[in-house]
Amino acid sequence: MKKSISRKIIGLILAASFSSCMLPTGIAAMETVDIQTYDVAAIAEAADIICGDFTISGEGLAADTDYKFESSVLTILSGKDITIKNTNSGSTSNRIEVAGGVSANITLAGVNISSSGAAFKIADNSTGNVTITLADGTDNFLTSGNNCAGLQKNGGISSGNLTINGNTGKLTATGGSHGAGIGGTGSGSGSNITINGGMIIAAGGGGNEGGAGIGGGGQNGNGGGGLNIIINGGNITATGAGGAGIGSGYVGGSSSVTINGGTVIANGGAGAAGIGGGRNAGESQSGTTNTIVINGGTVTAKGGNSSWGNGAGIGSGGVRDNYNNITIKGGTVTAFGGNGAAGIGSSSNTGGGTIGITGGSVTASGGNGADSIGGRNSSGEIDGNAVIHANGSIGENIEKENGIVFEDGQGTVYGDVVLDGDLTIGEGESLTIPEGASLTNNGTITNNGTINNNGAFTDNGSITGDGNITGNAPIEDSDDDPTDDPKDEDDPVTVPEGGTVQFGDDIEMEFPQGGIMYPDGTITADEVVVGDVVVKGEDVTVDTDGNITVPNGGTVRNGNDEKIVPKGTVVDKDGNTNAPVTIDRYPGYTKDILLSVTSEDDLLNDEDMKKLKNDHNALAKEVYDITLLYNSETEVQPDSAITVTIKAPDGVDGTKAKVFRMETDQSFTDMNAKYDSSTNTLSFVTEHLSVYIIAEELTVSDESDGSPSTPDDSENKPSAPDDSENNPSIPDDSDNKPSTPDDSESTPSVPSTPSGIGGAPGIAPAGASVPETITVKVENKVIGETKKVRAVRDGENITVDLGKENNGYYANIYTSNGDFITSVLIEKGKAKFTLSSGVKFSIVIDSFAYGDDVSAEAGIYSDRDIVEDAVPVIGIMVPIAVSLTIFLKNKKSVK
């Protein structure tokens, strides 16, 4: 309600209302304000009130009812909301107190108190519930004097509660000698303290015989405990001085601490526990017990050292007996014991009690050979789904029922564990799932060490890191996906980027880009590394023997030597490939370019082979159409000179092998290929890819003049024709014995056969009326053998037994002058043909007919037609047992 009153009355009201506190100077200037437009109550509510070095504010605050300021002490008298800050920068010796029985609601918005008494005091043993809120973005300092706590909440379990709230607001509370940072006086307990948030630094005072960071005071002989301390959130660092970081003071009694959340760092003072008992806890009270429960949060606790004894990280202080009931159900907990003290459990000299760990991730380190978990007179169990990293031993009375337990880096899964959080397996560490145990991962496992699975491992989350996966059992996914490969009963598992997998006893492969592992043990990836060998390609597959298949083509690098390989290439662990053709990786190469190698029967026809033989004295053995394809479909040429390497075909003498490129005008260019006997390969440099022929150079006969030698076997020497009768002589008739083949009068001279055509001539006697056996020398170009065989002449019909092993090849018949006569197909091991009487001839067996006069169809025979030995292909020998899987297209033209 608005009132029109005189300025004089307002002045009297204001003077009476603020007694020892004053409105700020700005309010005194009201002489210039038209008061008729304002409520008096509104003016009071809007005004800051200065009380000594403090400025306070709040709705409807009344002096001596809600607060008072006397003798440099601001005392809170009611539960009205009040905000307090320093009026000026710097610290003040003015103090704050909350009267006994008052449930106050106080916001600290920038106080800085340094006092010889208690900087902020809740009346001893007050039953009031005090809530302190730390204003966002403000720094608040409470520094107290001898035997006082920084934020003093002195009293037993029957006293009221102190609750601290906040987000980004900060509080630093430092106790004086023997006092806690937050909690009891030198001889008192700090009880019923709850922290929900804020950034809090609490330090006990008193050197080696002082208070807890949060909890009891520590005066010698009269110290206090830290009871019913609850932390739900915030960022808290608590450091004791002879007392625990959180818990009892130096000679305090029992402690009870519950942590549900937040980030907590608790450092024990000299000889005290990080969380639990002070150094001499138990001296003033017998039967002292530390009850510690951790349900969540990130907790780091470190025990302190002293010459009298050393504290556990979580548990007992170092000198006097105090027992423990420790329960860890969740959170991330790290505990370091002092020298000779457990990380979690008993101190170096005292302790005992029970330890139960049923959840969370726990890392514990005992000091100087002490148990990581356990210690003197401690017992308990690890159960549930806890993950324990013990940097040292676990006490013999701590049973491992269920959970993941690492002892000195070697982890074991006990029972059936469900991992909902994250797990890191460090470098040099291992995790073994023994037979009968199981691990179900619903979180993230970072594996930088080794997972050895001999039990059941189900991954519903993710596995990352660059570690190994070994063992006799696969990693499975419980979610059965019907779209998976039918051979897979379960979903595949992701191999993480940089992950490594062990194949057998000696093959370790790395997958820099990750991959997919199937329950049958095979892995698909785009990059595989084994030692110095790097294989890249789309959907590279590794089988359980460590063989790497590049189904769509890619590259293989062995040390500094990197090759482009065609699709279907198989690579072993040493980098050896079965690729018939490879290309050295060149500067313009990208992963979008694939090497296509086609070996088909119609790439070279009979005329081409004749031309190659006539022009280059070489016989074609294998033909490849070599192409580079961009995005698997567009033919491209290299942008610089490249090195092509081709494996020498089976049965070809590499020292006589040559490589020719077929040009667009059907001519052939010798590529001057170099033969490497260690790899049995031919290499050449080119800037243009096309059809390439691997050929074997023809050689002349053994004679220096290039002529075949005459038979020297007198028993099998063929007869020469009778000049007068034009009939063959009887071989054993001495009177009519024909002259030998080198008789110039009775036989023509024997000129050299064509280059590469060997064998002594056979002679078809003239006018023979009965079958007669003659001897013929045959050169087999297929297997590289020359021998004598028997031929049967019946008139002009000749039958030569060449052996069933030559079925399907061609017998090429030549005169002794090297003129081609005819070609016949060898069937049932025999070659049958006709010759005019008296013609001298020799036979060359080859995989193709040199001419067109073939008594059977000179075509291509597939493995459906020929069932034994090898398949004859024009110019190409292809064993039936070999499967040519590298076909992209049927192509007859050349580039």
Neighbour count for residue 480 (Cβ, 10 Å): 11
Residue 838 has pLDDT above 90, yes or no: no
- Which two structure tokens, joined as six digits, stand for 106? 């106080």
Q: What is the dihedral of CA 825, 826, 830, 832, to 10 degrees?
A: 10
Q: Residue 357: what residue type?
A: I
Residue 870 has pLDDT above 50, yes or no: no
What would you report as the CA-atom Rg of the chain, rounded to the nearest whole angstrom? 50
What is the percentage of the chain residues whose pLDDT exceeds 90? 43
Q: Which residues, other chains included, contact 668 with Cβ-Cβ below 8 Å and sequence gap of 6+?
A: 611, 612, 615, 616, 660, 661, 662, 693
Residues paired with 891 in a beta bridge? none
461/769: higher pLDDT: 461
Neighbour count for residue 17 (Cβ, 10 Å): 15
Q: What are phi and psi of 480, to 5 degrees?
A: -70, 120
Average pLDDT over residues 703-718: 34
Q: Cα separation of 36 and 472, whole Å?
A: 91
- Which two structure tokens, joined as six digits, stand for 806? 């030559």
Average pLDDT over residues 157-186: 96
Which pTM value belongs to this model? 0.57
Q: Cα separation of 359 and 357, whole Å?
A: 6
Q: What is the dihedral of CA 514, 518, 522, 528, to 10 degrees?
A: 0
Mode of pairing for the β-strands spanning 762-763 and 840-846: antiparallel
CA distances from 633 to 526, 537, 894 (A): 20, 17, 17
Residue 728 has pLDDT above 80, yes or no: no
Average pLDDT over residues 109-133: 97
870/362: higher pLDDT: 362
Choice among 77-81, 103-107, 444-448 with the minimum mean pLDDT: 444-448
Q: pLDDT band at residue 792, thresholds of 50, 70 and 90?
A: confident
871/639: higher pLDDT: 639
**With DSSP H G I counted as helix, E B as strand and the rest as coil, what are the percentages for the chain, rounded to 5?**
5, 45, 50
* pLDDT score recorded for residue 422: 87
Q: Residue 330: what residue type?
A: G
- Which two structure tokens, joined as six digits, stand for 799? 């039958």
Average pLDDT over residues 177-188: 93
Q: Which residues, other chains included, contact 332 with Cβ-Cβ below 8 Å and sequence gap of 6+?
A: 297, 298, 299, 360, 361
- Angle at the Cα of 704 from the Cα atoms of 703 and 706, rounded to 5 degrees: 65
Q: Cα separation of 861 and 786, whole Å?
A: 26
Neighbour count for residue 567 (Cβ, 10 Å): 22
* pLDDT score recorded for residue 377: 87
pLDDT tens-digit readout, 801-816? 888 778 878 888 888 7
* pLDDT score recorded for residue 491: 57
* pLDDT score recorded for residue 814: 85
- 8 Å CB contact between 334 and 358: no
Nearest Cα to 475, choosing from 462, 489, 456?
456
- Which two structure tokens, joined as six digits, stand for 453? 């699975």
* pLDDT score recorded for residue 20: 55
Choice among 70-84, 286-300, 386-400, 455-469 with the minimum mean pLDDT: 455-469
* pLDDT score recorded for residue 55: 97
Residue 873 has pLDDT above 80, yes or no: no
- 8 Å CB contact between 708 and 754: no
Residues paired with 232 in a beta bridge? none
- Which two structure tokens, joined as six digits, stand for 499? 């992950």
Q: Is 258 exposed, middle or buried (0-12, 13-18, 19+ CB in 10 A)?
A: middle
* pLDDT score recorded for residue 350: 78
- 8 Å CB contact between 619 and 668: no
- 8 Å CB contact between 195 and 236: yes
Average pLDDT over residues 766-775: 60
Residue 485 has pLDDT above 50, yes or no: no
Q: pLDDT band at residue 817, thresholds of 50, 70 and 90?
A: confident
* pLDDT score recorded for residue 287: 60
Residue 700 has pLDDT above 70, yes or no: no
- 8 Å CB contact between 663 and 653: no
Residue 740 has pLDDT above 90, yes or no: no
Q: pLDDT band at residue 881, thresholds of 50, 70 and 90?
A: very low
Q: Cα separation of 194 and 203, whole Å?
A: 17
* pLDDT score recorded for residue 252: 77
Q: What is the dihedral of CA 671, 674, 676, 677, to 10 degrees?
A: 90
Q: pLDDT band at residue 735, thresholds of 50, 70 and 90?
A: very low
Residue 436 has pLDDT above 50, yes or no: yes
Find tokens 């059907």 and name the residue.
Answer: 666
User: 514-534 in b/e burial notation, b at 16+ Cβ within 10 A?
Assistant: bbbbbbeebbbbbbbbbeebb
Within 435-483, residue ranges assigned H as helices are none
Q: Cα separation of 339 and 367, whole Å?
A: 4
Q: Residue 16: what residue type?
A: A
Mode of pairing for the β-strands spanning 657-662 and 668-670: antiparallel
- Which two structure tokens, joined as six digits, stand for 352? 């005992």
Residue 494 has pLDDT above 80, yes or no: no
Q: What is the dihedral of CA 833, 838, 839, 840, to 10 degrees?
A: 110
Mode of pairing for the β-strands spanning 263-267 and 298-302: parallel
Residues paired with 499 in a beta bridge? 511
What is the percentage of the chain residues whose pLDDT exceeds 70? 78
pLDDT tens-digit readout, 603-623? 778 888 888 888 899 888 889
Q: Cα separation of 591 and 684, whole Å?
A: 23
Q: pLDDT band at residue 714, thresholds of 50, 70 and 90?
A: very low
DSSP type of residue 728 = B
Q: Cα separation of 846 and 331, whole Å?
A: 81
Helices (H) and strands (E) in the chain, counts: 4, 78
Give the range with max mean pLDDT: 5-19, 209-223, 232-246, 693-707. Answer: 232-246
500/759: higher pLDDT: 500
Mode of pairing for the β-strands spanning 314-315 and 344-345: parallel
Choice among 7-16, 355-364, 584-593 with the minimum mean pLDDT: 7-16
Residue 109 has pLDDT above 60, yes or no: yes
515/29: higher pLDDT: 515
- 8 Å CB contact between 279 and 242: yes
Q: pLDDT band at residue 723, thresholds of 50, 70 and 90?
A: very low
* pLDDT score recorded for residue 319: 76
Q: Cα separation of 520 and 509, whole Å?
A: 17
Neighbour count for residue 823 (Cβ, 10 Å): 23
Q: Cα separation of 390 and 392, whole Å?
A: 5
Total residue count of the chain as it appears in this document: 895
Q: Residue 305: what residue type?
A: N
Give the range with max mean pLDDT: 91-100, 459-468, 494-503, 556-565. Answer: 91-100
562/735: higher pLDDT: 562
CA distances from 19 to 14, 62, 572 (A): 9, 10, 95
Q: pLDDT band at residue 632, thresholds of 50, 70 and 90?
A: confident
74/881: higher pLDDT: 74
Q: Cα separation of 470 and 472, whole Å?
A: 7
* pLDDT score recorded for residue 163: 98
Q: Cα separation of 208 and 206, whole Å?
A: 6
* pLDDT score recorded for residue 671: 93
- Which two structure tokens, joined as six digits, stand for 668? 């052939």
- Angle at the Cα of 800 from the Cα atoms of 798 and 802, rounded to 5 degrees: 160
Residue 283 has pLDDT above 70, yes or no: no
* pLDDT score recorded for residue 92: 97
Q: Which residues, other chains included, contact 881 with Cβ-Cβ below 8 Å and sequence gap of 6+?
A: none
Residue 862 has pLDDT above 50, yes or no: no
- Which two structure tokens, joined as six digits, stand for 44? 């009071």
Residue 418 has pLDDT above 50, yes or no: yes
Give the range with max mean pLDDT: 276-290, 294-308, 520-534, 876-890. Answer: 294-308
DSSP type of residue 36 = G
pLDDT tens-digit readout, 301-335? 999 998 888 999 999 887 776 788 999 999 999 99
Residue 826 has pLDDT above 70, yes or no: yes
* pLDDT score recorded for residue 285: 54
Choice among 393-407, 578-592, 753-767, 799-813 with the minimum mean pLDDT: 753-767
CA distances from 139 to 51, 112, 240, 545 (A): 20, 8, 22, 65
Q: Which residues, other chains included, contact 704 with Cβ-Cβ below 8 Å and sequence gap of 6+?
A: none
* pLDDT score recorded for residue 313: 94
Mean pLDDT of the chain: 79
Residue 352 has pLDDT above 90, yes or no: no
* pLDDT score recorded for residue 56: 97
393/482: higher pLDDT: 393
